[in-house]
């Protein structure tokens, strides 16, 4: 797996053509209101600050030397062993704080799996000086974002905040490092145990192929090896443990000497050091933690394992044990994986996907601290045996041996690495995360210098050597996942069972642990005051228009030597309303645009783009066909020449069309097995009504896609893919004057002026009903509750409705999520929100919940919505909403994609240049009474659809007792035979108004329909 680098030596930078960080803008610069170009802190002598606390040790200061492009940082170690890394970057008023503990599921024991991840959840449940749920609340109301993640080897916690909230972030992290355990209660333990079970159910047990990695892990690694179970753990282990087990885990692994605190952004190092010493310095050192090292698994023969799942496609996965991350052979193995199955030019794509033997075929090489796993995954079409797939995989390896590694292979791999490296510089959070990871696993935050050198020196001989050493003739774990009742499709009979007879448990790590709290000379219970609010500059931008109607908008930024162009053609699924029998044609058009052009085959186009490190992707949505072009600015001209071919000169080969159509049909059929997809499709069908194109999935149905011909694709492209419906967003180190001539091929684009398909009406909901779709024996249920509300506007009713919903279901600390997740433990997450565009969209409340509490979850959803509609927001909640949304402005414009989204909103909706200022004024002025009126008017709990996808046998009687009419539907959204209900039909449009009087004809005045 390629790792994003954050350091480039100038030797590599010159070879790759990367611009220097201090490169100045072209002659015409953005106005003073624009975000300042991102500049790293100026190089300074590598000396320690004048003042350090007792026991704090200066380790190193990495600065720019000569023309290097690096991420400067300073590194220190406190007396208690805590490592501190600081990166200074004043380009945006943002700070990112990351605390990484060198403990993941690899530190767990047999019978107690899932502890590391479970503990991650507990770290958000309050500490001595931070109340339950306050961590999320404090960060949110400060305008920040936060999260935590756990993997096999580490657990990290992080906040991105406005820079005036630095001290608050450090105070919060220190409090849970040093003062957690007394705040851990049995109730919190039980709620989070239920939440983790829900997470497992949602992401593993109730997800197609969700258990494949679990089967592979316990088959690949010896019994008792810490990688032989997944980070999520086993349900039976979670049921077995108690609060004291959890506390012992914290005491053993969560000491400051096993942690790295990394702080980056708009900060002053001296201030960071002082604050870290204050809040972390007195936390006692924990037990010593030794680096783990285990031998790689040895397979004496191929190990076959299989299981049945509720899936349409069988799946075969082969895993070869390889090397840990940062091993000298890792880069060559990454390159081998890329050549074999990393892109459309790869051997596996050509042999499996292009030849229509499989829907997907990939090769990748994830590497971890203790080992690596060279992985081949093939998803063949239904009915194809996995034994044949295994045979084809081995034949493809032989083909690779004969073909060898080419110069182009290396060029593509290194170009991709270069782009990933630069993209890692896009945000302060990305840079901080990289520094934290490198420091944790290598002890050297500057390790990327070695990584770059390894990529630069990689040769064709290196790649062939690792192939011969780790893959050729070597044994693998072959996992088969087959549809229920189709065991004849497995690659081979199961031949391996984990043997624990010779397992020897390691020494007890948890004896004699004592909880020692820090002793301070200040009051930790006092929340730090925020500094002055940072000044946030909204990106300045230019606008232009081509003679053929294409509108363009862009902003200059030299934060990265890259340019992104987002092209939107406002056709998409919505235009299929003009011929609903061909629903799904827009998605096929998008797919065909990624195939062959008049001058290039699809493989040639992909190869040229990969050698440039560029990408041109095409996708279809409800309202548009979107083209995203990303390139290093040095390669922009060459990339745009390829974009002209892809966008304006598609070849529309019949063979490509048949393959894509077949893939789309299989994808549609596959969705019928996925609870989330079923719930969304049925929900939309009920809301929009029969006859409305938005009631049909973007991909279409089996019936509509079977109707589509290649001529239909060509006709759609000719009729609707028009410059008159097109807009462009450009973000990068290019000015409007420099980029517009480069886009001249778009100015020459001919096309008829096209009107968008008219907005279609939606049926009213007469009363709240429950619509039940049976997903037999599903461990979880998917719930959707809502109605069609309103269309988007930036500063009016829609924007105010978003403010109103924030406390109901728009934040982690919302009423709905706190109730269903944090208080009840019903779900991994619950939410609500409005999603309008230029046409009215729905208000939706949703969650995936444990199956046995489905009825209770619906009761709580309705209770919270009704209570909010009746009683409204509290003064405290209103203040929280204002602070949270108001201060989050600092985080909105940091990256290229954030800037592009901002500009896209302006051009899509014709917004004023100062619309964000108007939003801030609305936010500041909105009163409790107006919020409450919006809640009362926009939350009609008696006129909403409730969709439930779950196990009918265990649910139906419980749902009937809720008092709503329960209507059974099929997975396709059809009414089950015998049910006394007719699916809603899209109402007919109103008669045309008299253009002079704007009055309706007399006979229809009393039959007005609401859109």
Q: If residue 254 lies in a helix (H) or strand (E), which one and from where to where?
A: none
Fold exhibited by the domain 769-969 = Cytochrome Bc1 Complex; Chain A, domain 1 (3.30.830)
Q: Three-class SS of residue 792?
A: coil
How far apart (Å, rounded) are the C-alpha atoms in residues 347 and 764?
A: 53
Do the beta carbons of residue 969 and residue 772 sit within 8 Å?
A: yes
**Which token pair is 850?**
């444990």
**Closest to 635 (Cα-Cα) out of 612, 652, 654:** 612
Strand bridging mode 965-969 / 562-569: unpaired
Q: Per-residue confidence at 327, pLDDT binned at 50, 70, 90?
A: very high
- Whether the per-residue pLDDT at 11 is higher than 60: the answer is no
Residue with tokens 């045979």: 391
148 burial via Cβ count (<10 Å: 0-12, 13-18, 19+): middle
The pLDDT tens digits for 590-631 are 999 999 999 999 999 999 999 999 999 999 999 999 999 999
User: What are the φ and ψ backbone dihedral angles of 127, each rounded to 5 degrees?
Assistant: -140, -170
DSSP for 487-510 reads: GGGSSS--------TT--PPPPS-
**Which token pair is 404?**
């060898």
Residue-level pLDDT at 899: 94
Residue-level pLDDT at 1007: 28
Q: Per-residue confidence at 708, pLDDT binned at 50, 70, 90?
A: very high
The DSSP bridge partners found for residue 849 are: 781, 827
The Cβ of residue 706 has, within 10 Å, a number of other Cβ atoms equal to: 11
Q: Three-class SS of residue 393?
A: helix
Is the pLDDT higher at 932 or at 531?
932
DSSP for 85-137 reads: EEEEB-SSSEEEEEEEES--GGG--TT-TTHHHHHHHHTTS-BTTB-TTHHHH
Do the beta carbons of residue 77 and residue 873 sit within 8 Å?
A: no
**Closest to 125 (Cα-Cα) out of 167, 185, 194, 198:** 185
Architecture of domain 49-280: 2-Layer Sandwich (3.30)
Q: Per-residue confidence at 673, pLDDT binned at 50, 70, 90?
A: confident
Residue-level pLDDT at 502: 86
Q: Three-class SS of residue 832?
A: strand
How far apart (Å, rounded) are the C-alpha atoms in residues 815 and 812?
A: 9
Q: Alpha-carbon dihedral of residues 915, 921, 926, 931, nearest 10 degrees?
A: 20
Question: Which string of b and e fits 342-363 if b means at least 16 CB within 10 Å?
Answer: bbbbbbbbbbbbbeebbbbbbb
The pLDDT tens digits for 356-408 are 999 999 999 999 999 999 999 999 998 899 999 999 999 999 999 999 999 99
> From residue 465, how far is each of 153, 415, 416, 625 by CA, in Å?
28, 22, 22, 44
Mean pLDDT, rounded, for 438-449: 95
CATH 3.30.830.10 residue ranges in the chain?
Answer: 49-280, 303-420+442-489, 542-747, 769-969
Residue-level pLDDT at 69: 64
The DSSP bridge partners found for residue 625 are: 569, 620
How many residues comprise the chain? 1011
**Closest to 502 (Cα-Cα) out of 115, 225, 218:** 225
Angle of CA points 404, 407, 410, to nearest 5°: 90
Q: Three-class SS of residue 1004?
A: helix
Q: Please list the alpha-helical segments (H only) found in 872-951.
A: 875-887, 896-909, 915-925, 928-938
Residue-level pLDDT at 79: 97
Q: Three-class SS of residue 843?
A: strand
Residue-level pLDDT at 164: 95
**Full strand arrangement of the beta sheet holding 827-834:** 827-834, 841-850, 780-790, 945-950, 769-774, 965-969
**Full strand arrangement of the beta sheet holding 625-632:** 542-545, 551-556, 726-732, 562-569, 625-632, 615-620
Residue 31 CB-half CA count within 13 A: 7
Residue with tokens 């189709």: 486
- Whether the per-residue pLDDT at 521 is higher than 50: the answer is yes
Mean pLDDT, rounded, for 456-475: 97
Task: Output the pTM of the full model.
Answer: 0.89
**Closest to 483 (Cα-Cα) out of 310, 306, 674:** 310
Residue-level pLDDT at 68: 63
Residue-level pLDDT at 36: 31
Residue with tokens 């809040």: 279
**Closest to 623 (Cα-Cα) out of 578, 579, 571:** 571
**Closest to 216 (Cα-Cα) out of 482, 496, 501, 502:** 496
Residue-level pLDDT at 846: 98
Residue with tokens 């109607």: 549
Q: Per-residue confidence at 47, pLDDT binned at 50, 70, 90?
A: low
How far apart (Å, rounded) are the C-alpha atoms in residues 66 and 8?
A: 12
Strand bridging mode 769-774 / 965-969: parallel
Mean pLDDT, rounded, for 30-43: 33
Strand bridging mode 83-88 / 259-265: parallel
**Which token pair is 940?**
């009609």
Q: Three-class SS of residue 751?
A: coil
Mean pLDDT, rounded, for 719-748: 96
- Whether the per-residue pLDDT at 987 is higher than 90: the answer is no
- The top-level CATH class assigned to 303-420+442-489 is alpha beta
**Which token pair is 445?**
């935050």
Tell me how far the alpha carbon of residue 301 is from its chain's centroid.
38
- Whether the per-residue pLDDT at 992 is higher than 80: the answer is no
The pLDDT tens digits for 558-599 are 989 999 999 999 999 999 999 999 999 999 999 999 999 999
State the chain's maximal CA–CA distance in angstroms: 91
The pLDDT tens digits for 163-190 are 999 999 999 999 999 999 999 999 999 9
- Give the chain's end-to-end CA distance (angstroms, integer): 49
Q: Per-residue confidence at 26, pLDDT binned at 50, 70, 90?
A: very low
Residue-level pLDDT at 19: 24
Q: Per-residue confidence at 4, pLDDT binned at 50, 70, 90?
A: very low
Residue-level pLDDT at 64: 73
Q: What is the mean pLDDT of the chain?
A: 91
How far apart (Å, rounded) are the C-alpha atoms in residues 902 and 810?
A: 20
Q: Per-residue confidence at 927, pLDDT binned at 50, 70, 90?
A: very high
Residue-level pLDDT at 649: 97
Task: Report whether CATH 3.30.830.10 matches the domain 542-747.
Answer: yes
DSSP-derived secondary structure letter, 944: -
Do the beta carbons of residue 883 and residue 144 sit within 8 Å?
A: no
Mean pLDDT, rounded, for 909-914: 92
């Amino acid at each position: 797996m390629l790792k994003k680098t954050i350091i480039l030596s100038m030797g590599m930078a010159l070879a790759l053509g990367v611009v220097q960080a201090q490169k100045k803008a072209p002659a015409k610069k953005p106005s003073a209101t624009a975000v300042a170009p991102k500049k790293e802190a100026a190089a300074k002598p590598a000396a320690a600050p004048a003042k350090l606390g007792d026991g704090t040790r200066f380790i190193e200061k990495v600065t720019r030397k000569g023309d290097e492009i690096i991420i400067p940082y300073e590194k220190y170690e406190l007396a208690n062993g805590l490592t501190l890394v600081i990166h200074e970057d004043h380009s945006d008023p943002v700070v990112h704080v990351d605390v990484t503990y060198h403990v993941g599921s690899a530190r767990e024991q047999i019978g107690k799996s899932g502890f590391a991840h479970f503990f991650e959840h507990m770290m958000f449940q309050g500490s001595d000086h931070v109340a339950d749920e306050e961590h999320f609340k404090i960060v949110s109301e400060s305008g920040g974002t936060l999260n935590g993640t756990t993997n096999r080897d580490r657990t990290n916690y992080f906040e991105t905040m406005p820079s005036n909230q630095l001290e608050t972030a450090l105070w919060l992290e220190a409090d849970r490092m040093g003062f957690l355990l007394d705040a851990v209660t049995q109730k919190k333990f039980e709620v989070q145990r239920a939440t983790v079970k829900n997470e497992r159910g949602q992401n593993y047990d109730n997800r197609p192929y969700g258990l494949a990695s679990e089967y592979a892990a316990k088959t690949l690694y010896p019994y008792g090896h810490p990688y032989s179970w997944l980070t999520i753990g086993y349900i039976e282990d979670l049921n077995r443990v108690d609060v004291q087990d959890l506390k012992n885990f914290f005491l053993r692994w969560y000491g400051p000497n096993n942690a790295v605190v990394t702080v980056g952004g708009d900060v002053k190092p001296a201030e960071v050091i002082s604050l870290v010493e204050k809040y972390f310095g007195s936390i006692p050192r924990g037990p010593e933690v030794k680096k783990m090292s285990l031998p790689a698994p040895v397979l004496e023969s191929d190990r076959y394992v299989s299981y049945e799942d509720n899936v349409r496609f069988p799946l075969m996965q082969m895993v070869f044990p390889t090397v840990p991350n940062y091993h000298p052979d890792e880069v060559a193995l990454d390159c081998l994986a890329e050549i074999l199955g990393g892109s459309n030019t790869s051997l596996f794509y050509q042999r499996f996907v292009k030849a229509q033997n499989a829907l997907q075929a990939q090769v990748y090489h994830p590497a971890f601290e203790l080992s690596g796993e060279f992985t081949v995954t093939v998803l063949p079409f239904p009915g194809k045996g996995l034994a044949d797939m295994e045979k084809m995989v081995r034949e493809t390896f032989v083909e690779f041996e004969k073909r060898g590694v080419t110069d182009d292979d290396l060029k593509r791999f290194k170009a991709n690495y270069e782009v990933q490296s630069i993209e890692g510089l896009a945000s302060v959070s990305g840079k901080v995360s990289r520094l934290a990871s490198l420091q944790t696993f290598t002890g050297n935050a500057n390790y990327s210098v070695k990584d770059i050198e390894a990529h630069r020196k990689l040769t064709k001989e290196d790649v062939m050597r690792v192939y011969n050493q780790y893959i050729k003739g070597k044994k693998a774990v072959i996992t088969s996942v087959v549809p229920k009742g189709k065991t004849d499709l497995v690659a081979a009979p199961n031949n391996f069972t984990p043997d624990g007879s010779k397992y020897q448990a390691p020494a007890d790590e948890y004896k004699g642990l004592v909880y020692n709290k820090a002793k301070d000379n200040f009051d930790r219970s006092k929340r730090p005051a925020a500094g002055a609010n940072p000044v946030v500059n909204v990106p300045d931008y230019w606008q232009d228009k081509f003679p053929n109607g294409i509108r363009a908008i862009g902003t200059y930024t030299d934060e990265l030597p890259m340019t992104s162009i987002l092209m939107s053609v406002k056709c998409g699924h919505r235009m299929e309303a003009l011929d609903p029998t061909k629903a799904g044609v827009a998605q096929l058009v998008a797919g065909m645009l990624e195939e062959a052009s008049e001058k290039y085959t699809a493989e040639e186009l992909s190869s040229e783009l990969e050698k440039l490190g560029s990408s041109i992707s095409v996708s279809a949505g409800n309202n548009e066909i979107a083209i995203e072009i990303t390139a290093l600015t040095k390669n922009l001209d060459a990339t745009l020449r390829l974009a002209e071919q892809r966008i304006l000169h598609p070849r529309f080969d019949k063979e490509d069309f048949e393959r894509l159509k077949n893939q789309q049909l299989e994808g549609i059929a596959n969705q019928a097995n996925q609870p989330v997809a079923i719930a969304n499709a049925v929900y939309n069908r009920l809301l929009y009504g029969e006859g409305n194109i938005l009631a049909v999935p973007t991909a279409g149905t089996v019936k509509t896609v079977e109707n589509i011909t290649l001529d239909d694709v060509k006709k759609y492209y000719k009729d609707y893919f028009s410059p008159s419906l097109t807009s462009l967003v450009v973000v990068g180190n290019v000015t409007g004057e420099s980029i517009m001539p480069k886009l001249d091929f778009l100015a020459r684009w001919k096309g008829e002026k096209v009107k968008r398909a008219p907005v279609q009406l939606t049926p009213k909901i007469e009363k709240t009903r429950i619509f039940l779709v049976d997903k037999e024996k599903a461990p979880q249920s998917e719930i959707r509750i809502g109605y069609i509300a309103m269309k988007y506007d930036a500063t009016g009713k829609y924007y105010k409705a978003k403010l109103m919903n924030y406390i109901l279901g728009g934040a982690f600390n919302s009423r709905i999520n706190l109730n269903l997740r944090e208080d009840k433990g019903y779900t991994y997450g619950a939410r609500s929100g409005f999603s309008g565009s230029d046409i009215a969209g729905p208000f939706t409340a949703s969650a995936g919940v444990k199956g046995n509490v489905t009825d209770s979850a619906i009761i709580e959803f309705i209770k919270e919505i009704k209570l909010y509609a009746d009683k409204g927001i509290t003064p405290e909640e209103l203040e929280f909403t204002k602070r949270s949304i108001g201060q989050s402005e600092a985080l909105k414009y940091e990256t290229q994609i954030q800037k592009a989204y901002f500009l896209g909103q302006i051009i899509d909706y014709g917004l004023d240049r100062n619309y964000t200022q108007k939003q801030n004024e609305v936010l500041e002025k909105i009163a409790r009474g107006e919020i409450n009126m919006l809640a009362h008017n926009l939350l009609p709990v008696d006129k909403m659809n409730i969709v439930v996808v779950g196990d009918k046998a265990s649910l139906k009687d419980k749902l009937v007792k809720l008092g709503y009419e329960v209507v059974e539907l099929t997975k396709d959204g059809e009414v089950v035979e015998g049910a006394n209900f007719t699916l809603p039909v899209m109402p007919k449009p109103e008669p045309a108004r008299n253009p002079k009087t704007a009055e309706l004809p007399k006979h229809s005045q009393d039959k007005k329909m609401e859109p």
